[in-house]
Amino acid sequence: MLNKGYIIKIIINCSGLFFLFLFWELFVENFLIPKPSEIIITFFKLLSFEETWKNILISGIRVYTSITIALILGTIIGSLRYFKKEIYFLINPLFYPTQYIASAVWTIIGIVLFGLSPITPYFVIIIVILPNIFVSVQIGLNNINKTFIEYGKSHTQNKWRLYKYIIFPQILPHLLIGLIRSNAVAWKIVVTAELFISINGLGFMINNYYKMLDIQKLFATVLIIILIGLIFDQIFKHLKIKIEERYII
Amino acid sequence: MIKIENLCKSYESQRIYHNFNLNINKGKIIKLIGPNGIGKTTLFRCITDIENYSGNITCNGKISYLFQEDRLFPWLNIKQNIFLPIRLIGKKPNKTDINNMNYFAKMMGISKHLDKQINQISGGQKQKILIIRTFITNPDIILLDEAFNSLDKKNHQLIHKKIINFCKKNKKTVILATHNDNIPLNLFDDIIDLNTNKIQS
């Protein structure tokens, strides 16, 4: 249930944004920049179109399928350090430098590799998020409580069972932090990738409205992206808190 | 049975064991004494293969080790903690294991706490959960390292008595490392003093 303190906290958090919008509404007069009230009206109008929901669904599928694949791949590759150190040392140098390559560059590389195909947005999101997940796993492994491993070793030397019951649960909270970071990054990337290559999705909508110079709809689409990102961000944060509660004795 | 031959173990420059030998027959209840740092915990860690050592340690039977410090896993609830050793040896808890858990929980007087989370129980209750977890795999050899320190004096003696009597009845080999002199000596078959390397029967 929402308590009084929580509501006050939300009001304080939103007040800065409220005053910014108020200033924008009252004092910004530019034919290119629509007023917040106009954007909100357009936002609800856009939501009444079936096509908008289709595009939200398409972008959402791209984002969360890619995040899932990146999570699985990143966890497997990151965990190699525990299972096979030799392979880990071989892979490790490949991951850290990729973090410095911008998503737009990866989009171009994706187009070169896969052409203007539906695979490209998936490729770009996965390749950009993968180092995030990989690093989260490494932080998790660095912070493993060794006394728990000792306990496990007093019962079994089987590496997989030690990983499943003792190591992975300790990586999980770090993995969730990686997931929250990846959620924000993935929404940025999917729009970038869709701007370049797609014939559907929220990025395509933005590109389309830009070409038609329909700035109100363009801003309203940005608002949709922000809201979806925030909703999932809150879901993951809630999940993280629920899981972290179990780690406190 | 536990057979230790020529055990050598050092931590950097500190030599803990040098050609240490020990034979403990099946069903014996042993009290292991000695001052801090003499190597009581190290001996248990070598027996359970947590530490590297040179020499030869042979154990006939399943070992269960109750550590000196609390090692309950916070992300698991109490029942999951109790059944963790079963999962670690690659099995799933069956009816016998559940009966075992209920039997020991009744013995420890904590049956009504089994459905709680770890952070909902006291230090003494955690200690009792650790004891149940030690016995859940039906081990043949039980290593208890200052195992009941979190218990109050009354519980301390009572639990010792109950556990040792259970082990005697079921012919389990027990090594209990302790500084506590309040435990009645007649509960033990032998007392091993690591300081003097002498065995008192």
CATH number at residue B150: 3.40.50.300
DSSP state of B192: E
pLDDT-derived band at A2 (thresholds 50, 70, 90) equals low
Q: Is the pLDDT of residue A192 over 90?
A: no
pLDDT at A100 over 90: no
Instruction: Give CA–CA dist A97/A81, Å, rounded.
Output: 18
Query: What is d(CA A185, CA A125) in angstroms, rounded to the nearest whole number?
Result: 8
Whether A147 and B67 lie within 8 Å, measured CB to CB: yes
Percent of chain B surpassing pLDDT 90? 44
Indicate the pLDDT class of residue B179, thresholds 50, 70 and 90: confident
> Predicted confidence band at A76 (pLDDT cuts at 50, 70, 90)?
very high
Distance (Å) from the alpha carbon of B13 to chain A's nearest alpha carbon: 23
**Chain B positions in Cβ-Cβ contact with residue A172 (cut-off 8 Å):** 75
Half-sphere exposure of A117 (CA within 13 A, CB side): 10
Nearest to A161 among B50, B65, B88 (CB): B88
- pLDDT above 90 (res A163): yes
The burial class, CB within 10 Å (0-12 / 13-18 / 19+), for A241 is exposed
CATH top-level class of A34-247: mainly alpha
Instruction: Reply yes or no on whether the pLDDT at A153 is more than 60.
Output: yes
Tell which residue, A69, A107, A98, A67, has the closest CA to residue A191: A107
Domain extent at residue B37: 2-200
Chain A positions touching B49 (Cβ under 8 A) are 153-154, 157
Asked if B119's CB is within 8 angstroms of A249's CB, the reply is yes
Average of per-residue pLDDT values in chain A: 88
The more confidently predicted of residues B14 and A122 is A122
| C-alpha to C-alpha distance for A11 and A8, rounded to whole angstroms | 5
Given 3-state DSSP classes, what are the helix, strand and coil percentages for chain B, each rounded to the nearest 5? 35, 25, 40
> What band does A92 get if pLDDT is binned at 50, 70 and 90?
confident
Q: Are A113 and A177 in contact (CB under 8 A)?
A: no
Q: How far does A150 lie from chain B, in Å, by closest CA?
A: 6
Tens-digit pLDDT profile for residues B86-124: 999 999 999 999 999 999 999 888 999 998 888 889 888
Structure tokens at B62: 């399943």
pLDDT reported for residue A34: 87
Number of domains making up chain B: 1
Residue pair B82/B132 in contact by the 8 Å Cβ criterion: yes
pTM as predicted: 0.82
What local confidence, expressed as pLDDT, does residue A4 receive? 79
Q: What is the pLDDT of residue B15?
A: 87
Q: What pLDDT score was predicted for residue A248? A: 60
Chain A nearest CA to B17, separation (Å): 20
**Do residue A147 and residue B69 have CB atoms under 8 angstroms apart?**
yes
Residue B132 has what pLDDT?
94
Distances (CA, A) of A215 to A43, A51, A221: 12, 18, 10
Residue A249, pLDDT above cutoff 60: no
The predicted structure's pLDDT at residue A1: 53
